[in-house]
């Protein structure tokens, strides 16, 4: 099983991509993979970022 390093800047990228319009977690992860090929972010990190942003805890 491949482990992913924690991406501390994931919330910033989530906000950047959401500024372009509404999107789902999987779509955000696909955009990040396309635009930043060396990113090692998984969907779980995207959804954690979305939840944290929604709760205002960031």
Write down the domain spans for the chain.
10-55
Overall pTM > 0.85: no
The Cα 37–Cα 57 span in angstroms is: 28
* C-alpha 12 chain-centroid distance: 8
Mean pLDDT of the chain: 84
> What are 10-19's pLDDT values in tens digits?
889 899 999 9
- Contact status, residue 40 vs residue 7, Cβ threshold 8 Å: yes
Is pLDDT larger for residue 47 or for residue 38?
Answer: 47
How many other CB atoms are found less than 10 A from the CB of residue 30? 15
CA-CA-CA-CA dihedral for 20, 30, 28, 46, to nearest 10: -160
Yes or no: say if 43 and 29 are a contact pair by the CB < 8 Å rule: yes
């Amino acid at each position: 099983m491949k482990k992913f390093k924690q991406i501390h800047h994931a919330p910033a990228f989530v906000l950047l991509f959401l500024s372009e319009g509404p999107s789902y977690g999987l779509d955000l992860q696909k955009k990040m993979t396309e635009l930043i090929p060396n990113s090692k972010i998984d969907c779980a990190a995207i959804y954690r970022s979305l939840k944290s942003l929604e709760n205002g805890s960031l």
